[in-house]
Chain A
Amino acid sequence: MLKIASQNPYLPYQAIIEDIKIETEDGNLKTFKLVLEREEDRDAWNHMPGQFAMLSIAGKGEIPIGIASSPTEKGYLLFTVNRAGVVTTALHKMDVGSPIGVRGPLGNGFPVDSALKGKNIVIIAGGFAFTTLRATLIYMLEHREDYGKITVIYGARTPGMLLYKKELEKWQKRDDLDVYITVDREAPGWNGLVGFVPTIAGQVKPSPENAAALICGPPIMIKFTMPPLEEVGWKDDQVYLSLENRMKCGIGICGHCNVGPVYVCKDGPVFTREQVQRLPVEF
């Protein structure tokens, strides 16, 4: 787990919003491209896929958002933000060129350099939880020889709610990657798969042999995805989940994000399902 370079752990790096893209048809999800202002901050920044950062808007507050860009994408950071509360609403109203603070990288990431190396990877995501998995996928594609077969199963409510549509098209055309995109119900103009993510996972039946699964999504999707995987032999220590909780400090002190003995911001947000089974259900 990487430590923050600045002395004061609460001080964010200054950044500027360079680009804003609306990802979904209802406008509630936007991807912000941020560039850190100072060169020494850009050089000091080093994150792993799966980590998150605190976006800080002076006058409104801070929010923890997963980093959607991979460390191999140099010079900028991408964050896909859902409009939910006070800070995210303020963020959605901001224009290109506005100042914003970034505090991080925080948390642990997916163990792409250790436990996942050499394995077959299955990425399963639902809705707008795909953000950190985009970072993970791009990282893995940049280091393609380090991993075996990579399978991606990603679903959203409607075609308009899918994130990163252009990149999804590019990935579907690759032959070193199996990509299954699905939507919950039939939609006009949609020629792809139809069905909930757990159903598609049951049809794909990814093999657990020397494999690891990275699952991100609403708790209910995770709950229903596990049975089809367990049926084909997946064990709990092969499955990685990314938990969410209310956070404030991001460094394991303020006490808001604790789930039993662990702090989601410091010991997580990535946990194996085996670790999660040993935690009280308070997330």
Chain B
Amino acid sequence: MKDFTISKSQFLDFLSEFKKEFDIYGPNETSKGFYDWVAIDQIEQFEIKQGLPKSSIKTFLFPQPEILFEFSANFKDPAAYRLKEPDFKEKKIILFGVRPCDARSISLNSMPYSEDTYFQKRLEQILVFGFLCKSVCSTCFCSWVGGSPVSMDGMDIAVFDLEDAYVLRPITKKGEELLNRAGLDEATDVEKEAFNRLVKENSNKNQSNTADILKSKDLFDLYNASFWQELSDACINCGTCTFLCPTCYCFDIQDEVLKGKGRRIRYWDSCMFPLFTLHASGHNPRGDKLKRVRNRFMHKLKYFPDRFGPISCVGCGRCIRECPVSIDIREVLRQMLET
């Protein structure tokens, strides 16, 4: 597949040409003062800053809420209370400025969601312009959990920053198809060489045997370790880590009825909430804070790799920055590896 190039000053206009076909989102300053995903119409000055947007791209793959079914709740309607799937009228979406960690979360989430038709439909609609990282932040640890700053897993088009131009490399057929009809200049050999050099320099940073080490540990050794008590003392059981994490995917399903119309929605749920495992009888298997905190980390770092292979963490560092009590998953990982 060919590589293409475009000058930075023209990039925003180039993307805007696709506005009719796609809804386009990219990271930018929001009115709240933090860096998050906004629609392209609200972006005047194009700039991909170092660092990550506040929320992950999870918001596009499972929106909160997602309507699973609709039904009429009107007694007089003969078809009342029969569930109907809503028509899928979503426009295709372009996401640009997606870092390798966020892009990798797509393939990690696809593993448990392989049978979920709603997720798969949305996945088909998304086109990811991934941005490779030339430098890492102090809270990034992607190479420790099986990723790397130049991983192109999950991207449709990989973008490499070359001072005043971008080199665009299509990774998937979807990406190739878009670039082929975009009418861009083909990248020069010098530009391609610079891209390849960045990838080569950084790809040996991938220390991917963390997953293997964790898989080899005995489950009960980790489960009964003594470090969970101190860790869970500080936790306030909010949902911040789970909601901002790109690879946390638990949800809850509820029916809502208003004025004769009903819908069954699914929305993000968090295993940190005390009611997550509450039975109708009143019994709560994970009513203890320690059990919940331990379960979250064991799931991401042990149960998920045991079942699917990779660790369910991309090393983006959002939980470390946003946790109100500064619980650090790197510390947990270190303790688990030492057990």
CA distance A11 to B68 in the complex (A): 9
Interface of A is mostly: loop
Tell which of A45-53, A195-203, A250-258 binds the partner.
A250-258
Give the distance to chain B from A8, nearest Cβ to Cβ, in Å.
5
**A residues within 8 A CB of B298?**
260
Contact of B303 among A12, A62, A261 (CB under 8 A): A261
State the B residues within 8 Å of A (CB): 68-69, 71, 73, 80-83, 85, 112-113, 115-118, 219-220, 223, 249-255, 257, 262, 264, 269, 271, 276-281, 285-286, 291, 295, 298-299, 302-303, 306-307
Asked if B278 and A255 make an inter-chain contact with CB atoms under 8 angstroms apart, the answer reads no
List the 7 closest pairs (A to B, CB-CB), nearest first.
Answer: A255-B250, A85-B280, A84-B280, A261-B303, A58-B81, A282-B285, A58-B71
Given A7-B117, A11-B69, check contact A258 B285 (CB 8 Å). no
Asked if A58 and B302 make an inter-chain contact with CB atoms under 8 angstroms apart, the answer reads no
A-B CB contacts (within 8 Å), total count: 108
A selection of 11 A-B contacts at a CB cut-off of 8 Å is A10-B68, A58-B69, A58-B81, A59-B262, A88-B280, A246-B277, A248-B252, A248-B253, A254-B252, A260-B223, A261-B306
Closest to B270 in A: A255
Asked if B303 and A255 make an inter-chain contact with CB atoms under 8 angstroms apart, the answer reads no
**B residues within 8 A CB of A88?**
280
**12 further contact pairs, Cβ within 8 A, besides A10-B117, A280-B220:** A58-B71, A58-B81, A58-B262, A61-B253, A61-B254, A99-B80, A246-B277, A253-B112, A254-B253, A256-B277, A281-B285, A283-B285
Asked if A261 and B307 make an inter-chain contact with CB atoms under 8 angstroms apart, the answer reads yes
Given A249-B253, A254-B269, check contact A56 B83 (CB 8 Å). yes
CA distance A57 to B276 in the complex (A): 21
**B residues within 8 A CB of A62?**
253
**B residues within 8 A CB of A258?**
295, 299, 303
CA distance A119 to B299 in the complex (A): 37
Encode contact with B along A62-99: 1 for CB under 8 Å, 0 otherwise: 10000000000000000000001100100000000001
A244 sits at the interface (CB 8 A): yes
Asked if A59 and B81 make an inter-chain contact with CB atoms under 8 angstroms apart, the answer reads yes
Closest to A98 in B: B81
**A residues within 8 A CB of B295?**
258, 282
Asked if A256 and B250 make an inter-chain contact with CB atoms under 8 angstroms apart, the answer reads yes
Asked if A253 and B116 make an inter-chain contact with CB atoms under 8 angstroms apart, the answer reads yes
Asked if A10 and B249 make an inter-chain contact with CB atoms under 8 angstroms apart, the answer reads no
State the A residues within 8 Å of B (CB): 7-12, 14, 56-62, 84-85, 88, 99, 101, 244-246, 248-249, 251-256, 258-261, 278, 280-283
CA distance A67 to B66 in the complex (A): 30
Given A59-B255, A61-B255, check contact A253 B69 (CB 8 Å). no
Contact of B255 among A14, A60, A253 (CB under 8 A): A60
Closest to B84 in A: A11
Closest to A255 in B: B250
Given A59-B81, A85-B280, A101-B83, check contact A252 B299 (CB 8 Å). no
Closest to A99 in B: B81
**B residues within 8 A CB of A85?**
280
CA distance A61 to B68 in the complex (A): 12
**A residues within 8 A CB of B112?**
252-253
**A residues within 8 A CB of B271?**
255
CA distance A99 to B84 in the complex (A): 14
**B residues within 8 A CB of A99?**
80-82
Give the distance to chain A from B182, nearest Cβ to Cβ, in Å.
34
Asked if B73 and A58 make an inter-chain contact with CB atoms under 8 angstroms apart, the answer reads yes
Contact of B71 among A59, A61, A244, A251 (CB under 8 A): A59
**A residues within 8 A CB of B299?**
255, 258
Closest to B253 in A: A248
**B residues within 8 A CB of A101?**
83
CA distance A11 to B71 in the complex (A): 12
**A residues within 8 A CB of B262?**
58-59
